[in-house]
Structure 1
Amino acid sequence: MRIKRTIDKIPGGMMIVPLLIGAIVRTAFPHLADGTVFKSSFTGGLLTCAPALLAAFYICLGSTIEFKAAGYIMKKGISLWLGKIVLAAVICLIIKAVVPDQNHMFLGLSALAIVAAFSDTNGGLYMALMGQFGKKAEDVAAYSIMSLESGPFFTMLILGVVGLASFPVMAFVYAVLPLIIGMILGNLDIDMRKFLSQGQSVLIPLFALALGFGINLKNVISAGASGLILGLAVVVITGIVLVLIDRVTGGTGLGGMAAASTAGNASAVPVAVAAVFSGYRAIAATAMVQVAAAVIVTSILVPILTAWMARRAERKAHEAMKAPIHM
């Protein structure tokens, strides 16, 4: 059986296929992760410990990056990260101005769901796509900066539901530390670079499986048209903005398109926000399934569009090479 060859034919297949398998398992056995025996097992660790697998991936990835390339990582990572956060803030302000009701509902979507979906990138999908279509390992590594989007902090900050005075500096440190460790090891010893670099491709389907296990497909289906609209809006609006930002900062636009998605962990953000702001408790469950629907929609559309952009760029480059040179 040619399993790998078949998966490789799917854009971002090493991310998408395990993600869907994990979601199917979670849907078929929704209470599987509730048992302490399962959580303490190797199987439980594989399906529920995505952060540990991602940390291992960053160490392997970091080992392939030379210190002189760190500037490129910072430029691409910060530009795409700021693009996501600022865009979500602008959309939130527009919704607040146009829709005056308490939950600021628009097309069946609350501001809570919209900001949660727009402000957090699917890092596994981004890394898988840039690993397949990007030109540099640094394109993949840029997500070490973008990973700061993860969690409810920026959603709460944008919505203004809590009075946080400053961003925790250590969050920056912990986000990039595995990558830095890998970079140090790879730059100190070329044998360590060769050894660790082999782990990148292996870890992508493993952490994708764990991310998928956090998604129940029944909840995604119940979100209906509103979740579909949210996912389409994330792809179209953030896609346009991030592609332009990526090109302005020296990229090809592929990084921007690959980042135009919603992270799996974003579906938990509405509940986390509602825990600190009671005004959103009535709509938190609905917002959660709408964001989960956006995760699936963006996971399907973003690889297709990124692959299309990559083929288009290759075709243009090939045509340019064949064009006659006029003296």
Structure 2
Amino acid sequence: MKIKSAIERIPGGMMLVPLLLGALLNTMAPGTGEYFGSFTKGMIGGTVPILAVWFFCIGASIELRATGVVLRKSGTLVITKIATAWGVAMLAAMVIPEHGITSGVFAGLSVLAIVSAMDMTNGGLYASLMNQYGTKEEAGAFVLMSLESGPLMTMVILGSAGLATFEPQHFIGAVLPFLVGFVLGNLDSDLREFFGKATTTLIPFFGFALGNTINLGVILDTGLLGVFLGAAVIVITGIPLILADRFIGGGNGTAGIAASSSAGAAVANPVIIAQMNPAFAPMAQSATALVATSVIVTSVLVPVITALYARHMGSGAVAKGGVKVH
């Protein structure tokens, strides 16, 4: 059976399929982890430790010596994405109640959900798209995009917008596994290769654990709103990213469109942040559901839009049979 191949045909499938399975389990049999206990409970409820190991391995996989083109492209896209999310957070904080919207069409929407959906790019999806429609250097911009992984940027945005306060050690704790991995990976190339292999292996495991924080009933309740949020992420972050790529990054905008997705790891941010700041606990579940829907929507739409934009611009034209010609 070609299970892996079938899953990989789905955009972001190695993340989204286990996430959906976990959500089904949590919806239909929410006490499974407690019932079996031991390692089964650890796998079902191990979102934070699994992600901690993943962040460590991501850090270890990043090589300090990157070309100027890669750093320029990476920095442009990452800073633009984070700055856009920060600006949206500032505006949203003026109109959205502190604990989110609790009634009406936008029930469940919160600044936490918006920031979590907008401030991280699906780096794997971006790299895959730029390998097909861009250049090797543009695909390499995935390097700095890994710095967005985890709750750190979300914490910084929420804190700077005056929506939350975090103890200094929480900021350090959010980035410390990444930094330790980064140092070790650059001190020893063998360690970088060893730990780097785990970055893809761990994805279905934290996807499954993340799914077990989601009740599909909540997704059904917020489904249309989640679709709207996903579309908003593409439009609101995509336009600045296209402009930044064209006028600062030296590209034609294709990389900007490819970077306008929601990262799969962002699904974990509401829960992790709620653990560090209980004030976010009431909105964590609905925010998780909204971000999960946004991940699905952007994983499907961003490749389509990127392909159309690239063909319109004539960048990395794809010939018959999918072979790129220059």
Whether these two folds match at TM > 0.5 is: yes
The 1-side partners of 2:77 and 2:294 are apart by: 21
1:126 has 2:122 as partner: yes
- Residue 82 of structure 1 aligns with which residue? 83
* Aligned amino acid, residue 14 of structure 2: M
Among 50, 53, 56, the residue aligned to 1:53: 50
- Residue 202 of structure 1 aligns with which residue? 201
1:8 offset after TM fit, Å?
1.2
Q: Percent identity?
A: 30
1:304 has 2:300 as partner: yes
1:220 has 2:210 as partner: no
- Residue 280 of structure 1 aligns with which residue? none
- Residue 133 of structure 2 aligns with which residue? none
Distance 1:318 1:255, change over 3 A: closer
Query: Which ranges of structure 1 fall in alignment gaps of 5 or more residues?
Result: 278-283
The SS at the match of 1:298 is helix
The 2-side partners of 1:319 and 1:68 are apart by: 31
* Aligned amino acid, residue 193 of structure 1: R
Segments of 4+ moved more than 6 angstroms: 102-106, 122-125, 269-275
- Residue 281 of structure 1 aligns with which residue? none
1:217 offset after TM fit, Å?
0.1
Is residue 14–residue 204 contact of structure 1 (8 Å, CA) maintained in 2? yes
The 1-side partners of 2:23 and 2:101 are apart by: 30
The 1-side partners of 2:213 and 2:101 are apart by: 28
Is residue 81–residue 149 contact of structure 1 (8 Å, CA) maintained in 2? yes
Q: TM-score, normalised by structure 2?
A: 0.72
Distance 1:276 1:299, change over 3 A: closer
Distance 1:105 1:123, change over 3 A: closer
The 1-side partners of 2:209 and 2:170 are apart by: 22
Is residue 26–residue 215 contact of structure 2 (8 Å, CA) maintained in 1? yes
The 1-side partners of 2:176 and 2:60 are apart by: 12
Among 286, 290, 293, the residue aligned to 1:294: 290
Is residue 26–residue 212 contact of structure 2 (8 Å, CA) maintained in 1? yes
1:238 offset after TM fit, Å?
3.8
Alignment of 1:81-160 (within 5 A): 81-93=82-94, 95=95, 108-109=105-106, 113-121=109-117, 126-130=122-126, 132-133=128-129, 135-136=138-139, 139=142, 141-145=144-148, 147=150, 148-150=152-154, 154-155=157-158, 158=161
The 1-side partners of 2:59 and 2:217 are apart by: 37
The 2-side partners of 1:316 and 1:37 are apart by: 53
Is residue 271–residue 288 contact of structure 1 (8 Å, CA) maintained in 2? yes
Is residue 223–residue 293 contact of structure 1 (8 Å, CA) maintained in 2? yes
Query: Which moved further from structure 2: 231-240 or 1-10?
Result: 231-240
Q: How many correspondences in the alignment?
A: 302
Is residue 261–residue 298 contact of structure 1 (8 Å, CA) maintained in 2? no
Distance 1:237 1:129, change over 3 A: same
1:258 has 2:254 as partner: no
* Aligned amino acid, residue 85 of structure 1: W
1:5 offset after TM fit, Å?
0.8
* Aligned amino acid, residue 259 of structure 1: S
1:125 offset after TM fit, Å?
7.6
The SS at the match of 2:116 is coil
- Residue 25 of structure 2 aligns with which residue? 25
Q: TM-score, normalised by structure 1?
A: 0.72
